Amino acid sequence: MKRKSLFALSAVVVVAAAALVPVLWSGGDNLHNGTAMAATPADQAALIKKGEYLARAGDCIACHTVRGGKQFAGGLPMLTPFGTMFTPNITPDDQYGIGKWTQDDFYRALHTGRSKDGSLLYPGFPFTSYTKVTRADSDAIYAYLRSVTPVNVASRPHELKFPFNQRNMLIGWRTLFFREGEYKADPTKSVEWNRGAYLIEGLGHCGMCHTSINAMGGPVSSAAFAGGLIPLQNWYAPSLTSNKEAGLGDWETKDIADLLKTGVSNRGAVFGPMAEVVHNSLQYMSDEDINAMATYLKTIPQKSEAPEPLQLETSEKFGGELLKQGQKIYADNCAKCHAENGLGMPPAFPPLANNQSIQMPSAVNPIRMVLNGGYPPSTDANPHPYGMPPFAQALSNTEVAAVVTYIRMSWGNHGTAVSPQQVSDLRSAPLD
């Protein structure tokens, strides 16, 4: 939920409110069977405003704007094992953007994963989720994008290795991993639950990060929401299906909603990619939508075990040495904020004791936090968040491994010792 997926080509990232809206532009194919209606200026303004909400809620700017560049002009490089991909210009420029796209063209991209000319889009653009987006929401986003300032900048072509630069090969991928179709409400569930499911499974495409990806770049269907490494950002998206990770079965709905809306709650705080999602996206969502998402997340079936990601381990003897060394490092550097007993002072300083994100099988995230530090997102409800200072310059790889081992194995936490080699690997990895 920042949506830099493994194959990120991202076009429009959307988290939306579903309401019927009038048609302002008519398309030219049979994907849209409605009749175009004349729209008043008030209708058009309302539609654009709705589309802006959807675009901001969906964090479109994050993928389609280079830092310091023009909004929605694209060009953001995304490194993948198959080469570098660049996000496209989605401003209404006739030459290089989507100025000549119709509503039908835009909906086709979201719903079927095909561009205006019919070419197949790479699955980094999460059409496997967006296919669930309603036509009304698609039209609203389209209306908003038509209203932004056009930028006459060409979209940079991808630099993919052979054979991954052959788009026709995507036919096989789509056969295996893509099922077209709008979201269908579950009549046995409440309106709020269905709204949350629509946002999480479709528009929010949360599974893009929280579901493991196989060697072909496809989601592991048996592991939906069960967590996975985000290679582009070197963070671990924890499992939402296991209470040993980020499973939410024993969370209060309010704590889930607070975390989504503000980035902090009595149960913890978000950092890394999720902090960016909250800052750029979720904080702008209505309380009704946030509560709907929390309601749905609360009901995701919980499993007894989380997946076992690759984790570099140490010997029992060396782990004991790290634990002892880490206790002193913690007392000198961490206890002032997180307390000697690990209970912290939430929500400003999150607890480390009994914290799933600290003790889950993957130690990637606590290692990244000690090395690089970070802040929860700045939001209206938490405008001045307390941050975590970086210790990459102050602590060696062994010292970082020691303090992370200590917090993973103290105060009743059931984590395991980590290896200095894993710290070294993450120290040299790109930050985003």
Q: Is the pLDDT confidence value at 243 over 60?
A: yes
Examine the domain organization and report whether 266 and 197 are in the same domain.
yes
Please identify, among 250, 271, 298, the residue that sits at the C-terminal boundary of a domain: 298
**Residue 350: per-residue pLDDT:** 86
Asked if residue 32 is part of any domain, the answer here is no
12 within a domain of the structure (yes/no) = no
Q: At residue 68, does pLDDT exceed 60?
A: yes
> Of 123, 143, 177, which residue is a domain's last?
177
Do 50 and 159 have their domain in common? yes
Token pair 């389209």 is at which residue? 142
Cα gap 58→292, rounded to integer Å: 16
Question: What CATH number has the domain bearing residue 244?
Answer: 1.10.760
> Which residue segment(s) compose the domain that 221 sits in?
191-298
Closest CA to 140 of 55, 37, 38: 55
Query: pLDDT-derived band of residue 157, with 50, 70 and 90 as boundaries?
Result: very high
173 with 199, same domain: the answer is no
Amino acid at 386: Y
DSSP string, 139-188: HHHHHHHHHSPP---PPPPPEEPTTTT-GGGHHHHHHHH---------TT
Q: Are residues 168 and 200 in the same domain?
A: no
- pLDDT of amino acid 381: 81
Kindly report, residue by residue over 103-153, the tens digit of the pLDDT: 999 999 999 999 999 999 988 788 988 899 999 999 999 999 999 999 999
Instruction: Identify residue 35 by its one-letter amino acid code.
Output: T
Q: Are 64 and 14 in contact (CB under 8 A)?
A: no
pLDDT of residue 220: 63
pTM above 0.85, yes or no: no
In angstroms, rounded to a whole number, what is the distance separating the alpha carbons of residues 53 and 59? 10
Q: Average pLDDT of 189-199?
A: 95
pLDDT higher than threshold 50 for residue 6: no
Domain-embedded: residue 206? yes
**Backbone CA torsion sign across 222, 276, 72, 197:** positive
Mean pLDDT computed over 52-63: 83
Least-confidence region, from 56-70, 232-246, 391-405: 232-246
Report yes or no on 293 lying in a domain: yes
- Alpha carbon of 156 to those of 73, 84, 91: distances in Å? 10, 11, 14
102 domain residue, yes or no: yes
* pLDDT of residue 421 exceeding 90: no
The pLDDT of residue 310 is above 80: no
Same domain, 97 and 200: no
pLDDT of residue 305: 56
160 and 275 housed in the same domain = no
The answer to whether residues 288 and 220 belong to one domain is yes
Any domain includes 63 = yes
Q: Are residues 78 and 158 in the same domain?
A: yes
Query: Residue 302 and residue 239: Cα distance in Å, rounded?
Result: 10
Pairwise CA distance, residues 164 & 169, whole Å: 8
Average pLDDT, the chain: 82
Domain end, chosen from 249, 269, 298, is at 298
Helix/strand number for the chain, H first, E second: 17, 7
- Count of structural domains, the chain: 3
Q: Which two tokens stand for residue 61?
A: 């700017």
Is the pLDDT higher at 115 or at 299?
115
Give domain status of residue 143, yes or no.
yes
Residue 78 and residue 161 in one domain: yes
Shared domain check, 153 and 116: yes
User: Is the predicted pLDDT of residue 25 greater than 60, yes or no?
Assistant: no
Lookup result for tokens 């006459």 = 152
What percent of the chain has a predicted confidence (pLDDT) above 90? 41
SS3 assignment for 49-101: HHHHHHHHHCCHHHHHECCCCCCCCECCEEEECCEEEECCCCCCCCCCCCCCC
185 in a structural domain? no
